[in-house]
């Protein structure tokens, strides 16, 4: 067992984890952040995406011990209590949820993209950065021609600080 310290959604945690335990398992089973979903467990689908020190990572591919000393943000950290973030609200408004299973990972990828690019117009640059990293979601979009683009696209989306 290895003692680690990490901050998740602004809350400090100290716990002992096995070296082989993934960050996804630590978040879900040890700390109760169940919004991080496990899909393929190979890093392909993106359902387990979280932000670690501001960068998107696949929590199924990161060991919990690798998160020692880091700041992790999960989908639970997007909302302010019962108030959805602008991004979550845009997903809801534009029916960008599909079945909802991969939505947390997709939200975290979009959150990282928006944090990096601020309020710059999104144009088409978001597609390879966000859709390209989420195979399952990309497949759903390709299978539904004529569907509106994901909710991360609206130019009117402005982030609350």
Q: Encode pLDDT of 21-80 as tens digits.
A: 999 999 999 999 999 988 888 888 888 999 999 999 999 999 999 999 999 999 999 999
H helix or E strand, kind and range, residue 114? helix 103-117
> What predicted TM-score, i.e. pTM, was given to this entire model?
0.77
Tens-place pLDDT, residues 103-150: 889 899 889 988 887 766 666 666 665 555 554 444 444 444 444 445
- Yes or no: say if 8 and 20 are a contact pair by the CB < 8 Å rule: no
Query: 3-class DSSP state for residue 50?
Result: strand
Q: Which CATH class is domain 2-77?
A: alpha beta
Q: Which residues contact 22 (CB under 8 A, 6 or more apart)?
A: 59, 60, 61, 62, 63, 64
């Amino acid at each position: 067992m290895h003692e680690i310290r990490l901050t998740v959604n602004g809350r400090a945690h100290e716990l002992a984890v096995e070296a082989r335990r993934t960050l996804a398992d630590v978040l879900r089973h040890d700390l109760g952040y169940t919004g991080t979903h496990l899909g393929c467990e190979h890093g392909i689908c993106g359902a387990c995406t979280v932000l670690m020190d501001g960068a998107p990572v696949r929590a199924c591919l990161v060991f919990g011990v690798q998160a020692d000393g880091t700041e992790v943000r999960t989908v639970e950290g997007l909302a302010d209590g019962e108030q959805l973030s602008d991004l979550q609200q845009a997903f809801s408004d534009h029916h960008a949820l599909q079945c909802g299973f991969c939505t947390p990972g997709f939200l975290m990828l979009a959150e990282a993209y928006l944090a990096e690019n601020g309020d710059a117009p999104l144009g088409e640059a978001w597609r390879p950065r966000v859709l390209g990293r989420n195979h399952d979601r990309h497949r759903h979009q390709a299978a539904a021609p004529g569907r509106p683009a994901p909710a991360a696209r609206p130019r009117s989306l402005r982030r609350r600080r």
